Amino acid sequence: MLAILLFLLWFSLPLCNADALSKLLAWDWRPFQGQFGILPMVAGSLLLSFSALLLAFPVSVGICCFAHGMGPAGPAALLMRFVKLMTSVPTVIYGFVGVFVLVPLMREVFRSGSGFSWLAAMIGLAILVLPTIVLMLHSQFMIVEPQVKLTATALGMTPAQRLLHLVVPNSGRGFATALVLGFGRALGDTMIPLMLAGNAPQVPGSVFDSIRAMTAHIALVVATDSQSLAYLSLFACGLILFLSSTLVNLGLQWLGRPDGRKE
């Protein structure tokens, strides 16, 4: 296992010497003029992930509150089961349906461009990361809620009051973990940005502009190009992704550790 990881690192590291690095960390991607900046892709990835999280997070919180007392018990259990099922839907199917439903919708409603846009990819990604966040929050609520339920009921609190004033403030760590986990998932996904975002290597000016993520960039360049510096940019992207997923992981461990000690 360790060997695998070292191997991955070893492939990317020597390819990033200082000279090439300065060329890669630029804002222009014009392969035919010898400019191979990957910063637009980095920015694209970050923007996409954050915006998708922004969209998915409130809805996830709503779902969890629904499942923990706001909604009737039967539908709540059904809803959780449904969310679990959502994890099994392949991303390529989200992308596929997105191309034929979401994109024409964007084109019709906003009447701008081709419809392949930041917004479309954002919605797709939000649906993708939703189950991850919901399940994480759900497991946190499962820990917190039994502790406060008796007290809250004795105080005559309604479920809404209990959730808003006791459960939610007491599950801060769960919220953070869910966010980090969702961010990692959104950053790492390839198919939805590739199929929905339009893939123009630029920093978008609005949500209707086309955007290109690092993952999609890797897939595109492998498929089309073979110039040496373009390949370098691939490995640089790979390295950045690798580092960020390592960071996400370290963050998760850091979040998980004090929690384990407390119990």
Partner 1 sequence: MKAGYRLFTSFCWVSALLPVAGVCGLIAFLLRQGWDVLGLKLFFGDTPPLDAIFGFAPVWDGIWPACFGTLAVIALAGLTAIPLGLFCGIHLSEFPRSRFTGLLDFCVNLLAGMPSILMGLFGFALILFLRHTLMPNASTGLLLSGFCMGLLILPYMVKATQSSLAGLPDDLRLMGAGLGFSKSQAIRHILLPSAGRGIMGGVVLSIGRAAEDTAVIMLTGVVANAGLPRGLFDNYEALPFFIYTMAAEYQSPEELQRGFGAALVLLALTTGLFLAAHGLHNAMEKRWKRG
Q: Of all helices (H) and strands (E), which one includes residue 35?
A: strand 35-36
User: By CB under 8 A, is residue 137 in contact with partner 1?
Assistant: no
The count of residues in the chain is 263
Among residues 75 and 206, whose Cβ is nearest to partner 1? 75
Three-state secondary structure call for residue 29 = strand
Minimum distance, C-beta of residue 205 to partner 1, in the bound complex (Å): 25
Which residues within the stretch 55-74 sit at the binding site for partner 1 (CB under 8 A)?
Answer: 58-63, 65-67, 70-71
Which residues within the stretch 94-123 sit at the binding site for partner 1 (CB under 8 A)?
Answer: 94-97, 99-101
Minimum distance, C-beta of residue 163 to partner 1, in the bound complex (Å): 8
In 155-201, alpha helices (H): 159-162, 168-170, 172-188, 191-196
Q: With the C-alpha atoms ordered 258, 260, 261, 263, is the resulting torsion angle positive or negative?
A: positive
Minimum distance, C-beta of residue 33 to partner 1, in the bound complex (Å): 25
Minimum distance, C-beta of residue 172 to partner 1, in the bound complex (Å): 19
User: By CB under 8 A, is residue 263 in contact with partner 1?
Assistant: no
CB 102 within 8 A of CB 114: no
What is the spatial distance between Cα 202 and Cα 192, in angstroms, rounded to a whole number?
Answer: 18
Q: Residue count at the site for partner 1 (CB under 8 A)?
A: 71
What is the spatial distance between Cα 95 and Cα 192, in angstroms, rounded to a whole number?
Answer: 5
Choices 23-31, 36-44, 91-99, 144-152; region in contact with partner 1 by CB under 8 A: 91-99
**Amino acid, single-letter form, for residue 200:** A
Which residues within the stretch 9-38 sit at the binding site for partner 1 (CB under 8 A)?
Answer: 11-12
Minimum distance, C-beta of residue 35 to partner 1, in the bound complex (Å): 22
What is the spatial distance between Cα 98 and Cα 91, in angstroms, rounded to a whole number?
Answer: 10
Which residues within the stretch 217-236 sit at the binding site for partner 1 (CB under 8 A)?
Answer: 218-219, 222-223, 234-235
User: By CB under 8 A, is residue 209 in contact with partner 1?
Assistant: no
DSSP secondary structure, 141-168, as one string: HHHHHHHHHHHHHHTT--HHHHIIIIIH
Choices 3-11, 22-30, 144-152, 171-179; region in contact with partner 1 by CB under 8 A: 3-11
CB 187 within 8 A of CB 44: no
Which residues within the stretch 146-185 sit at the binding site for partner 1 (CB under 8 A)?
Answer: 158, 160-161, 163-164, 184
Among residues 70 and 142, whose Cβ is nearest to partner 1? 70
